[in-house]
Amino acid sequence: MRRAAVVPHGKAERLGDALARLERVAADAGVELVDADGEPDVAIVLGGDGTMLRALHAFLGTDVPVFGVNFGRVGFLTSVDESQLEDAAARVFAGEYRVAELATLRADVGGRSYPAINDAVATSGRLGRIIELGWDIGGEDLGAHRCDGVICASPSGSTAYNLSNGGPVLMWGLDAMAISFVAPHTLHARPLVVPRGLVLGVENRTDGVPVAVLADGHRIGELAPGERLEVGLGEQRTRLALLPEVTFFTRYHEVFP
């Protein structure tokens, strides 16, 4: 390994001397620390899940694996906590890691396509206003629900907003997406897992209320009444680097005790 990119937490004070610690390990290993444009062999994230998402987006479509050291609050996608920085970085620089390739989403709205690492969400564009969403899967009409919104999550995103909403947890490696309605006003809306090849269609059927569309928490569009969003599994996959002993279940039990 010759080069490693560093993606730090957005709040520099949260890192303390972490960058200096990483620089010392890199120097001992003969690894140059570069920015994202420096053709790195691996990316080292010093942050939580938000920073991990930023890095996974930055390196989506490349062969660069992303390894996380948790300096955030949850850090489900990271491998180790901050106290293990030196040992973990030395192992990564020595090539002692494995790569999990995880499915992503593609959200089509307003004539444009957007990638999503974790989730695509349709929610009320006006605070406190309920919306009515028509939905279909693979072109098959499944009716409509009055609700606060709908979440479509990838496996890596199934433990985020989807989990807190009562949606199903998808193990890393599954080529599927989870769909869960937010506060549906019905007894018939249940979370659903959909395989690759089937696309979720969501139509705004609310009079006078727009529907906001978000990808990984960022607003990417708005549905006026009668307009629709489509979400399916994307062609690209993220490359999550993990220490060999770190598995989905070790992270699951550590983060969600």
* Residues known to be catalytic: 49
Residue with tokens 């938000």: 50
Residue 174 burial class via C-beta count within 10 angstroms: exposed 0-12, middle 13-18, buried 19 and up: middle
Q: Contacts from 81-87 at CB under 8 Å and sequence distance 24+? A: 82/18, 82/46, 85/18, 85/21, 85/22, 85/25, 85/46, 86/21, 86/24, 86/25
> What is the rounded CA–CA span in Å between residue 246 and residue 24?
24
> What is the rounded CA–CA span in Å between residue 18 and residue 159?
27
Which stretches does DSSP call E strand in 71-191?
80-81, 98-109, 112-116, 119-124, 131-137, 140-147, 149-153, 176-182
Residue with tokens 């969600």: 256
* Residue 208: partners with Cβ closer than 8 Å, 6 or more residues away: 225
